């Protein structure tokens, strides 16, 4: 195990050096004989060798062997100064539609006209419903405790940013979700106030016809979607812009160099169980000289009890400017990361320190998990640590404005997901707040991560290159999270979305096909450990019972192993509606009233004509009818797909978990996190041990011969022996039929148990209940189904 250059091992480096360094034949011969520089005689020998060659000015990247060091717990000092607080905010009055960098000369702005704004925040959440350019300004002194090398870090700016410090232009960045930084040691004033100015540009997409088919900004659902303010297809669909410095800005201090990124790839051997953490460290160094260093690394358990890992050390000469190191850290008998429904999500923390003599130059830490995630290319199911598992998921857009997402709010969402037996989440067509990924790691929830491409984008080399750059950034930024198991590159691209022919006059059935191909080719090598999904296409989004057909069609066999969207809209409860609408809009009567509802994403055609939901005569009835429909569809669809487990269905994702703004859409939880009835419907259908009811959709007329099948679904990895199914049909308090069956079912399996033939002779509401118990009469799963019988 040893550090090495990305391009090769010690041999390649020494062969190059032998041609440059006179008198180095002894070094070359000695290294070849030993394969690597053994430092069993002590770290000092390696340091002296590195110092000698480093002093010649001709050796970079040279590495010693990995060596165990005396036991200690490595620390990672906090050397950060937050710049959060109240900044000055100055919107630019002129409309701006370009995304080009600003001129490097800072314009003469009239800051006396500026307003105070809380920071960090999307500007809309602070009362500014604007688009285009806005200027931010703050002044600050430097904390005396910060070391000599300073880096200015932005953790998220929507959408493009130009930055000046003390009047000097630092640079430009495009992309709302990526952190970016600038070295500022030469610009900053240690003993005086510093002025930081940021030009943020979040423009509208171009205004001509079909603008949304040729978007330029990579913002996914945040800029164009049917669940954002105004919806996808109205003239008001770009209102309530998400622009602003939405994530923290800070100064980070270090000594002479700065660790930029630590990336960990887990590698597990199952028999006997052992693991290696393949570590890659990117370092920004002194631009003028190589630096001789001692690097220390340690693995520590985060959320389980185990001994602290051994401290490993090695010597290395860091090349001037930038360098990249790789290290293999062994971990005997690792604690594996599992989803919450199959085990414990065990996490490790890797700590890295870089020393020069007795000076700590920089330190960093990252969390990761030892786990493998594989997708069978033929049967299309997923295996976690070698074990097949069925994925029961939801789509997730937690908030339209990412600065609103506190850790507590995200934690509440994950707890609600687990309460509905969800083990996988699709972050839908955007990258969300960083805390979510940390919490998913801790909770043991798998994450399907979409790249922020939603529907159509311009087909130009410039856009393709920008998409590749941002795609690589997404993978690098989120790489260490064990929860992430899929990267997906585009949601409903135009080349697959035939319905766009009715939406756009200029629709081209091949649009973005080339973009998707080059993006897939460019990103495939960046993470061979995860499945890269080229696009989430219409075949994965059946939408029966909402955009076409009836939801009974979900019972038909499917050819698609991945079902990444299904669902229906439902109104939230009345207290939520009273927060969303002014009183005059609560019971819509006129076109203007309905337009207000449609602005809040309500779809009247789908509700009344396709789903045939009755509005009723009161708001209470309207809420009840829509929520009942959503609940029935969720349960019917999810159970139907689970009965096709691995034949071919391996993963299903309901659309969607919550409303991302105060609105009426597909969320089974409203914006304020109150569950609708659809939450209970999915919760029933997602039970790990489920007595599944395969029945026709109701109502049915009197005299219809009704055939109902009963199944046992076992998602657990333990077989069920001597289990019991008890099912009964009631009409009110009257018991019509009751049956008890004993059965066994294998682990991770499905079994058909019984078939009911039922012909009611009069109308009414009948209820079928089914319960699975273990041999101790403990209830493992229960289900119910309303059999509505109408008069002929």
Query: What residue ranges in 57-179 does DSSP mark as E strands?
Result: 67-68, 80-82, 85-91, 115-119, 132-140, 149-154, 157-158, 160-165, 168-174
Helix (H, G, I), strand (E, B) or coil at 310: coil
Q: At what angle do helices 407-419 and 434-443 cross, to 10 degrees?
A: 40
Q: Which domains does the chain have, with CATH numbers?
A: 10-65+255-368 (2.60.40.10), 80-204+241-253 (2.60.120.260), 390-685 (3.20.20.80), 689-790 (2.60.40.10)
Report whether pLDDT(24) > 60. Answer: no
Q: Which residues of 681-699 are buried (b: 16+ CB within 10 A; e: fewer)?
A: bbbbbbbbbbbbbbbebbe
Q: What is the mean pLDDT of residues 457-474?
A: 98
Bridge partner list, 274: 269, 332
Cis (ω within 30 of 0) for the bond into 627?
no
Q: What is the mean pLDDT of residues 661-690?
A: 99
Tell me how far apart the alpha carbons of residues 745 and 312 are, in angstroms, rounded to a whole number.
Answer: 48
Q: What is the mean pLDDT of residues 550-568?
A: 97
Residues 6+ away with beta carbon under 8 Å from 780? 689, 720, 723, 772, 773, 774
Residues 6+ away with beta carbon under 8 Å from 365? 76, 262, 349, 350, 351, 352
Count of other CB atoms within 10 angstroms of residue 116: 11
Q: pLDDT at position 97, please?
A: 77
The answer to whether 566 and 639 are in contact (CB under 8 A) is no
Q: What is the mean pLDDT of residues 672-680?
A: 99
The residue with tokens 């809309």 is: 124
Tell me how far apart the alpha carbons of residues 670 and 656 are, in angstroms, rounded to a whole number.
Answer: 10
Q: pLDDT at position 643, please?
A: 99
Question: Mind listing the pLDDT tens digit for each residue in 68-102?
Answer: 888 889 999 989 999 999 999 999 987 777 888 99
Question: Mind listing the pLDDT tens digit for each residue in 740-755?
Answer: 999 999 999 999 999 9
Nearest to 122 by CA among 405, 398, 397: 405
Phi, psi of 551 (to 5 degrees): -70, -10
Report whether pLDDT(55) > 50. Answer: no
Tell me how far apart the alpha carbons of residues 535 and 442 are, in angstroms, rounded to a whole number.
Answer: 28
Nearest to 575 by CA among 504, 642, 623: 623
The answer to whether 731 and 764 are in contact (CB under 8 A) is yes
Q: What is the DSSP letter of 404?
A: G
The answer to whether 699 and 789 are in contact (CB under 8 A) is yes
The answer to whether 542 and 500 are in contact (CB under 8 A) is no
Residues 6+ away with beta carbon under 8 Å from 44? none
Report whether pLDDT(379) > 80. Answer: yes
Q: How far is CA 62 from the centre of its chain?
A: 38
Nearest to 629 by CA among 647, 642, 612: 612
Question: Mind listing the pLDDT tens digit for each residue in 132-147?
Answer: 999 999 999 999 999 9
**Six token digits for residue 194:** 């510093």
Tell me how far apart the alpha carbons of residues 620 and 702 are, in angstroms, rounded to a whole number.
Answer: 29
Nearest to 606 by CA among 533, 518, 544: 544
Q: What is the mean pLDDT of residues 268-288?
A: 92
Report whether pLDDT(716) > 50. Answer: yes
Question: Mind listing the pLDDT tens digit for each residue in 590-643?
Answer: 999 999 999 999 999 999 999 999 999 999 999 999 999 999 999 999 999 999
Please state the pTM of the whole predicted model. Answer: 0.91
The answer to whether 573 and 674 are in contact (CB under 8 A) is yes
Tell me how far apart the alpha carbons of residues 622 and 616 are, in angstroms, rounded to a whole number.
Answer: 5
Question: Mind listing the pLDDT tens digit for each residue in 27-43?
Answer: 333 333 333 233 333 34
Residues 6+ away with beta carbon under 8 Å from 569? 546, 601, 602, 603, 606, 607, 626, 630, 664, 665, 666
Q: In what order do the strands lie in the sheet with 258-269?
A: 258-269, 274-284, 322-332
Kind plus residue range of the DSSP H or E element containing 328 = strand 322-332
Nearest to 449 by CA among 407, 482, 496: 482
Tell me how far apart the alpha carbons of residues 56 and 48 are, in angstroms, rounded to a whole number.
Answer: 13
Question: Mind listing the pLDDT tens digit for each residue in 413-431?
Answer: 999 999 999 999 999 999 9
At 52, the pLDDT band (50, 70, 90 cuts) reads very low
Report whether pLDDT(20) > 70. Answer: no
Report whether pLDDT(654) > 60. Answer: yes
Q: pLDDT at position 64, please?
A: 65
The answer to whether 275 and 319 are in contact (CB under 8 A) is no
Helix (H, G, I), strand (E, B) or coil at 484: strand
Report whether pLDDT(8) > 80. Answer: no
The answer to whether 361 and 328 are in contact (CB under 8 A) is no
Over pLDDT 90: what percentage of the chain? 85
For the ranges 94-98, 281-285, 664-668, 781-785, the lowest mean pLDDT is seen at 94-98
Q: pLDDT at position 62, please?
A: 57
The more confident residue out of 22 and 632 is: 632
């Amino acid at each position: 195990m040893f550090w090495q250059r990305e391009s090769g091992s010690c041999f390649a480096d020494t062969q190059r050096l032998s041609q440059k360094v006179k008198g180095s034949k002894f070094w070359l011969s000695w290294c070849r004989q030993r394969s690597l520089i053994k430092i069993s005689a002590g770290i000092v020998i390696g340091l002296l060798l590195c110092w000698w060659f480093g002093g010649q000015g001709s050796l970079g990247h040279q590495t010693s062997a990995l060596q165990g060091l005396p036991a200690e717990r490595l620390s990672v000092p906090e050397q950060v100064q937050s710049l959060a607080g109240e900044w000055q905010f100055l919107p630019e009055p002129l409309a701006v539609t370009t995304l080009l960098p600003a001129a490097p000369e800072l314009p003469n702005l009239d800051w006396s006209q500026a307003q105070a704004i809380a920071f960090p925040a999307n500007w809309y959440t602070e009362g500014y419903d604007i688009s285009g350019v806005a200027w931010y300004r703050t002044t600050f002194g430097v904390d005396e405790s910060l070391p000599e090398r300073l880096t200015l870090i932005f953790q998220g700016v929507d959408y493009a940013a130009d930055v000046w410090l003390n009047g000097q232009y630092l640079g430009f960045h495009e992309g709302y979700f990526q952190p970016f930084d600038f070295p500022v040691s030469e610009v900053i004033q240690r003993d005086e106030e510093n002025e930081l100015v940021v030009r943020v540009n979040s423009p509208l997409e171009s205004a001509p016809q079909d603008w949304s088919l040729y978007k330029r900004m990579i913002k996914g659902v945040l800029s164009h979607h049917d669940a954002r303010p105004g919806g996808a297809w109205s003239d008001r669909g770009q209102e309530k812009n998400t622009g602003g410095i939405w994530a923290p800005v800070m100064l980070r201090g270090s000594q002479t160099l700065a660790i930029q990124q630590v990336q960990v790839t887990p590698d597990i051997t199952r028999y006997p169980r052992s693991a290696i953490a393949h570590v890659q460290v990117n370092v920004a160094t002194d631009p003028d000289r190589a630096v001789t260093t001692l690097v220390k690394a340690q693995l520590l358990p985060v959320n389980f009890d185990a001994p602290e890992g051994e401290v490993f050390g090695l010597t290395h000469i860091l090349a001037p400017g930038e360098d990249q190191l790789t290290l293999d850290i062994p971990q005997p008998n690792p604690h594996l990361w599992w989803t919450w429904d199959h085990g414990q999500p065990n996490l490790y923390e890797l700590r890295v320190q870089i020393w020069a003599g007795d000076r700590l130059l920089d330190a960093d830490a990252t969390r990761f998990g030892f786990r493998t995630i594989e997708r069978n290319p033929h049967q299309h199911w997923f295996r976690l640590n070698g074990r097949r598992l069925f994925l029961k998921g939801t789509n997730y857009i937690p908030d339209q404005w990412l600065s609103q997402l506190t850790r507590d709010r995200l934690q509440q969402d994950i707890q609600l997901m687990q309460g509905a037996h969800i083990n996988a989440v699709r972050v839908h067509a955007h990258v969300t707040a960083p805390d979510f990924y940390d919490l998913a790691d801790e909770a043991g929830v798998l994450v399907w991560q979409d790249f922020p491409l939603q529907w159509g984008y311009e087909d130009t080399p410039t856009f393709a290159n920008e998409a590749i750059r941002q795609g690589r950034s997404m993978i690098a930024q989120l790489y260490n999270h064990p929860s992430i198991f899929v990267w997906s590159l585009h949601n409903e691209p135009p080349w697959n979305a035939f319905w766009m022919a009715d939406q756009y006059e200029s629709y081209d059935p091949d649009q973005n096909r080339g973009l998707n191909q080059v993006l897939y080719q460019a990103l495939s090598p960046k993470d061979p450990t995860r499945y890269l999904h080229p696009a989430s296409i219409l075949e994965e989004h059946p939408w029966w019972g909402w955009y076409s057909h009836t939801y009974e069609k979900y019972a038909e066999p499917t050819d698609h192993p991945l079902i990444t969207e299904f669902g229906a809209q439902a109104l939230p409860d009345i207290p939520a509606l009273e927060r969303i609408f002014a009183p005059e809009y609560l019971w819509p009567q006129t076109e203007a009233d309905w337009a207000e509802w449609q602005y809040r994403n309500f779809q009247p055609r789908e509700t009344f004509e396709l789903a045939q939901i009755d509005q009723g005569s009161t708001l209470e009835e309207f809420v009840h009818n829509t929520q009942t429909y959503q609940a029935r569809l969720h349960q019917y669809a999810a159970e139907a797909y689970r009965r096709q487990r691995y034949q071919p269905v391996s993963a299903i994702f309901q659309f969607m978990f919550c409303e991302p703004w105060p609105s009426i859409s597909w969320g089974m939880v409203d914006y304020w996190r109150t569950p609708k009835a659809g939450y209970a419907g999915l919760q029933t259908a997602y039970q790990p041990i489920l007595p599944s009811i395969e029945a026709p959709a109701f109502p049915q007329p009197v005299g219809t011969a009704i055939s109902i099948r009963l199944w046992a679904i076992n998602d657990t990895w333990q077989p069920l022996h001597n289990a019991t199914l008890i099912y009964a049909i009631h009409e009110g308090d009257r018991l019509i039929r009751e049956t008890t069956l004993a059965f066994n079912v294998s682990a991770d399996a499905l079994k058909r148990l019984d078939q009911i033939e039922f012909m009611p002779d009069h109308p009414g509401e009948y209820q079928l209940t089914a319960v699975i118990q273990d041999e101790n009469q403990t209830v493992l799963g229960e289900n119910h189904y309303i059999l509505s019988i109408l008069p002929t």
